[in-house]
Amino acid sequence: MKLKIFKFFTIIFFSLLIIFFSSSELVSEEFALGDETKSYYALDSDNKKIHFSKIDDIEFKDNSELIIFLGNSQTHGVNQFVKGNSNYVEILSKKYPNKNINAISIPNGSLTEFYMISTYLISNFDIKKIILPAFFDDTRESNIRTEIISFFDENNKFNFDDNIKLILSKNIIESENTISTQDLSEEFLNNFFEKNSFWKKRESLRAQVFTFLYKLRNTIFFITPSSKRYKIEEAYNQNINSLQSLINLCTLNNINLNIYIPPIRSDIEIPYDNLEYNDFKKKIEEIINVNKDFQYLNFEKIIPAKYWGMKSSTNLLKTKEYDFMHFNFQAHKILADSLQILLK
Amino acid sequence: MFFNSITFLIFLSIVCFFFWNVNKSFRVGFLVFSSCIFYGFWRWDFLLLILFSTVLDYTISILIDRNDDNNKRKIYLLISIITNLSLLAYFKYLYFIVDNINFAFGSNISLYEIILPFGISFYTFETISYTTDVYRRLIKPESNFLRYALFVTFFPKLVAGPIQRTKEFLDQVINPNKFSLDNLFKGLKRIIEGLFLKVVLADNLSAIVDDGFNINPDILSGVDVMTLSALFGFQIYFDFAGYSSIAIGCALLLGFKIPENFNYPYISKSFKEFWKRWHISLSSWIRDYLYLPLLGVKVLETTAKGGIGNKLDQKKGRNKNLILFITWAIMGLWHGANWTFILWGLIHATLIFIERIRTKYITFKTNTIINWVTVYIFSMLSWIPFRAENIENTLTMYSKLFDLGSFINLNLRENYYLIAFILTLLFLMLYNFRSYKLAKNKIGIFIIDVSKITLMVVLTYIFLRPIQQFIYFQF
């Protein structure tokens, strides 16, 4: 029995020790970008925010004739960031102060998510133009993030196409009409415990556990950012359908839609299957060209190798890896120059 | 109240403290009161339903016992069974019945909203087993209403079992165990293990399983279907075994022993063995109160142990195989009011039927690994109707297993295959390298146990959130 008591207290002691000494500093998004890349959200010449990362945060300074740049972390990620750097959205906004330029960029944002966000924007604001990069990488995403689902759950008045309605119906959990005593007590207790830093750090610890598992997986199976990412049929079709819906929506509302193939580093082998990637580009061009007012551009090779960077290790071995997604400020300038054509 | 919540952990601590500190004569009443609070935290109004069922079976069992006229005894038993099953049918199966009537006759009958009371399938089975055992004269009815009420409402097993037999439980109420540190530590260990299975493993698996089953089944390949079925197989195992472990742990803290429900089901080498290891208390209930009576076998003892046993082959004359299929269809239907659950039951009946034929004609010993692989693959595949949205999706998914041309096309994210593979491997490793097998001495066992449980405590602390109900709550 003495051994059992000793065992009990040893477990308590070590558990407290581990939780107490675990770092609470981990922001999942910054981890995904890596140490070499920093998130930067564009400001206009009056230092007002014109670049948003969440649909709930969108608040345009001026609601007329909006030009919206959509994108993933390539838009807000600046590799080898130094003070004074910015991104292509800010560069363009400052260069064209008379144009109402704004941006929304979400990490790994899929075409489905951009279609949903665009639906919201078109229904609520005076949108003149939408500029959207089509990443092959993000056609592998079929999930819609919780914050977008709950946003559309609460604002459930949008007439999405059947494809999205089906996804939403599968994801929205119908809540019971009555609030149980348990709901009330959980809310009370959570609010009470949230004041305690020991309890509060659980969220960061959860992120650390997932990060560790992600790195462990990459280490065991030799997965790196250069590993081939193949097409996932269901997710791919869902995203292409969403793009088609976005084209229809813009045509119907007389909004100018422009789609470009984003830059990717060309000094090393790309992490896609060449055949699948070429098919993807062809497909995008084919569906965008149906509407003669819409433009398709290919920027995949515009950024020279020297402006790309590395990213910190995504495995447990601490080796630097190639970053295929994020480039430095000089490259943002080049991309801004290339995108100008769409603003004229 | 959900086990995977802070509310429950606080509730449990308070109940345990007062239970061991109140006068012994108040303990039963205190536990009944606590159990009502436990249930009322979800819905207070449905406590009346439990009270009705409790009073009914308490009264009827006394009437059955006092009566020597066999016909009257039978009538009393039928009143109890029909009333209990009618309540179950109303709350659980009315939508299903009406949907099928509408489908068959083209009618358009609509229903108002009916809420399924948590735990109704479980406590209904317990009360039916009680009156049946009194009728069979296997037990004497309990004269103390509070004791019987505690048997029905005891909160650790109220919502999702394990389904316990009255005698096993009431013996412990009449001769209560004293407080022991041994039970306290064992109970805490079981609660930690259960919470770990639920909040760390099952809840995190649930996200990817839900996404996987949301995919249009038309584009899935055979390998995708096998992977998804294995992932769900693990999710439901972690979820339900986690729940059962917490229930057993809570009961131990209060000095009660309730039966085990799981014993490494996925290492089974036959389907008969699988059902001795999976949801043991339900399979033994089905055996004693449905299968054996239908076969015409007189049940002479009642225990929540063992699954489908050897007794099945004893009776001659009745069509064993037909009864097997009927029993399993009912068992499927018990899980949920949908044709998919009936199909799930029938699949298991078919697998057991094939196994019977195989053992009858193939007398030589078959390879253990081949047996395990066969049972593992088929038991996992059998979960598809349990999780798929409808029969159509189930059949589409099954058809993919025969589409050999595209069998290995991979349409899921790489993580799905990796997780299914790793979980299978880990399950086998955990079974084969349990700490007492791994370590040769007490210090070795101590170190392994401390590391294992510390890891579980830390991860449970990090992941504890009542974000997902237990799957079996909906049954």
- Residue A289 placed within a domain: yes
Region A205-212: what's the mean pLDDT?
Answer: 86
Provide, as residue numbers in chain A, all residues whose Cβ is less than 8 Å from the Cβ of B215.
142, 234
Tell me which of B131 and A223 has the higher pLDDT. B131
Provide, as residue numbers in chain A, all residues whose Cβ is less than 8 Å from the Cβ of B42.
180-182
B335 is catalytic: yes
pLDDT level of residue B43 (50, 70, 90 thresholds): confident
Mutate one of B1, B4, B5, B6 to test the A interface: name it (highest A CB count within 10 A).
B6
Which among A242, A253, A257 is positioned nearest to A289, based on CA atoms? A257
B170-177: Cβ within 8 A, 24+ apart: B170/B142, B172/B255, B172/B256, B172/B257, B173/B28, B173/B147, B174/B147, B176/B24, B176/B27, B176/B255, B177/B255, B177/B256
Does B415 touch chain A if contact means CB atoms closer than 8 Å? Answer: yes
Does B26 touch chain A if contact means CB atoms closer than 8 Å? Answer: no
- Residue A243 placed within a domain: yes
Q: How many domains does chain A have?
A: 1
Scanning B67-202, the segments in alpha helix (DSSP H) are: 70-88, 94-105, 120-135, 145-153, 155-158, 166-174, 181-195
Residue B435 in this model has a pLDDT that exceeds 70: no
Q: Which H or E element spans position B239? A: helix B222-253
pLDDT level of residue B426 (50, 70, 90 thresholds): confident
Domain assignment of residue A241, given as a range: 27-172+230-342
- As to burial, measured by CB atoms within 10 angstroms (0-12 exposed, 13-18 middle, 19+ buried), residue B408 is exposed
Does A146 touch chain B if contact means CB atoms closer than 8 Å? Answer: no
- Residue A225 placed within a domain: no
- Residue A268 placed within a domain: yes
pLDDT level of residue A23 (50, 70, 90 thresholds): low
Show which of residues 19-38 on chain A sit within 8 Å of chain B, judged by CB atoms: 19
Region B157-162: what's the mean pLDDT?
Answer: 86
Are A5 and B463 an interchain contact pair (Cβ–Cβ within 8 Å)? no
- Residue A180 placed within a domain: no
Residue A334 in this model has a pLDDT that exceeds 90: yes
Region B109-129: what's the mean pLDDT?
Answer: 88
> Could you report the per-residue pLDDT of A92-111, keeping only the tens digit for each?
999 998 899 999 999 989 99
pLDDT confidence of residue B437: 62
Region B410-429: what's the mean pLDDT?
Answer: 87
Helices (H) and strands (E) in chain B, counts: 23, 0
Three-state secondary structure along A240-308?
Answer: HHHHHHHHHHHHHCCCEEEEEECCCCCCCCCCECHHHHHHHHHHHHHHHCCCCCCEEEECCCCCCHHHE
- Residue A218 placed within a domain: no
Report the C-alpha gap between A297 and B364 in whole angstroms. Answer: 69
CATH number at residue A299: 3.40.50.1110
Choose the catalytic residue: B73, B157, B272, B335.
B335
Does B413 touch chain A if contact means CB atoms closer than 8 Å? Answer: yes
Region B438-448: what's the mean pLDDT?
Answer: 77
Residue B369 has which token pair? Answer: 């690994």
Does A193 touch chain B if contact means CB atoms closer than 8 Å? Answer: yes
Residue A124 has which token pair? Answer: 């609520």
B236–chain A nearest CA distance, Å: 19
- Residue A223 placed within a domain: no
- Residue A181 placed within a domain: no
Are B450 and A7 an interchain contact pair (Cβ–Cβ within 8 Å)? yes
Residue B298 in this model has a pLDDT that exceeds 80: no
Residue B208 has which token pair? Answer: 């990817």
Are A205 and B182 an interchain contact pair (Cβ–Cβ within 8 Å)? no
Region A214-230: what's the mean pLDDT?
Answer: 84
Residue B248 has which token pair? Answer: 């057993």
